[in-house]
A and B are shown apart, each in its own frame.
Chain A
C-alpha cells in the first residue's frame, strides 16, 4: 500500500499566483480530509469529504480556497490568489474507520 500520496512536496510561489495541491487517498477509504499546519495555529481542518461529497468546509479560511474531489482516488485544494499568510504545510488524510492516514504533506511558501 503506497499510503496517501500528495504532490508536490514543496511549492514556492509568488503572491497572487494560483496554487493547486493534489492528493491521492488510500484505495477504499471513504473519507478524505485537508488540514493546514502552522506553528501559530497547529493543525486546522479545512474541509472533509465523504464518498467524494464535501461534508464540512467551515474551516476553509476564505473564498480564495476551494477543494474538489472529482472521484474516489483524487482530490485537489486550490488557492487563488495566494498570499504570504497562506504559507504552511498542507496535509491530506484519508480514513475508513477511525484512524487517519496522513500524506507526507505539501510545504507551501508564498513570497
Chain B
C-alpha cells in the first residue's frame, strides 16, 4: 500500500497567518493527490483535487501544489472558519490511503 505522511501533525496559528501543510507519499503518485478539511463532528469536505485544482466553492485562499511524492496545502490568510483538521489522500492506487491529518488551531 502507498503510505502517506503529513507534517506538522498540529500547528497553532493566528487569524491572517499564512499556513503551509506538507504531505509526502512513499512512492511516486504523480498528481493523484486530494486535500480535505474536517471540522469536529462533521463529514470531511473536499478542498483540492489533482494536487492543485480548487474544488467548486472553496475560497481562493486555499491552494495546492506538488507532484511525485511531495505536496503542499497553503492557506494564504487564515480565517476563523479555517480552524480544522486537514487530510491528504492519494488516489493513484487502491487502497486510497489518507494521511494522518494536520490539526490547525488558534494560537
Same assembly: no
